[in-house]
């Protein structure tokens, strides 16, 4: 599902993953798995390996990155970061924090690449509005990356916050929004 894949396939693939994650999470507390253990599909989807694969697919292509791959990948990562998962009986917040922490650990090494997407998004045609000429326009790709960075900052994971600070990501966000 690299940048050469049609946008419709990116959209369908991300929507499928979103639906499976949400349905599995909804069923987590209401329909126990036959073996009595955790849902193996949900565990696999919530693994750092899955987040890394999503990042690899959405950030592949260098200058030819696909907007649909990035937007779909960000949607999956945002869903994985959601903390609406029903907690285990052992520790009310343990499962959701563990999942969130694992996803953050997978994303941290790629924060520089995500910031690069903010600086160099997939090419879009200039837009002329009643107020001004936007070249390049802010675009959906940058907006979704901003949403992901906001969600990552909201996790309050020390490694995420320190990496964002080291990269100067918030300064980059401010400059890009003002343009």
Residue 48 lies in a domain: yes
Domain that holds residue 77: 7-178
Decide if pLDDT at 99 tops 90: no
- Quote the pLDDT of residue 163: 97
Tens digits of residue pLDDT in 6-53: 889 999 999 999 999 999 888 876 665 565 667 899 999 999 999 999
Decide if pLDDT at 85 tops 70: no
Tens digits of residue pLDDT in 164-175: 999 999 999 988
Residue 104 lies in a domain: yes
Contact 41, 17 (CB under 8 A): no
Residue 118 lies in a domain: yes
Residue 82 lies in a domain: yes
- Please give the tally of structural domains in the chain: 1
Taking the alpha carbons of 103, 106, 109, 110 in that order, is the dihedral positive or negative?
negative
Residue 137 lies in a domain: yes
């Amino acid at each position: 599902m690299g940048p050469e894949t049609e946008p419709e396939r990116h959209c369908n693939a991300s929507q499928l993953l979103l639906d499976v994650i949400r349905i599995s999470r909804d069923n987590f507390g209401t329909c126990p798995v036959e073996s009595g253990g955790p849902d193996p599909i949900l565990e696999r989807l919530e693994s750092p390996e899955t987040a890394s694969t999503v990042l690899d697919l959405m950030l592949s292509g260098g200058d030819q990155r696909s907007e649909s791959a990035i937007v779909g990948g960000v949607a999956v990562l945002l869903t994985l970061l959601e903390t609406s998962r029903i907690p285990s009986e052992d520790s009310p917040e343990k499962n959701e924090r563990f999942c969130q922490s694992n996803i953050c650990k997978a994303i941290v090494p790629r924060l520089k690449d995500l910031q690069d997407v903010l600086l160099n998004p997939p090419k879009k045609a200039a837009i002329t509005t009643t107020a001004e000429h936007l070249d390049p326009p802010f675009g959906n790709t940058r907006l979704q990356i901003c949403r992901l960075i906001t969600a990552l900052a909201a996790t309050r994971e020390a490694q995420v916050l320190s990496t964002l600070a080291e990269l100067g990501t918030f300064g980059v966000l401010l400059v890009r929004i003002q343009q």
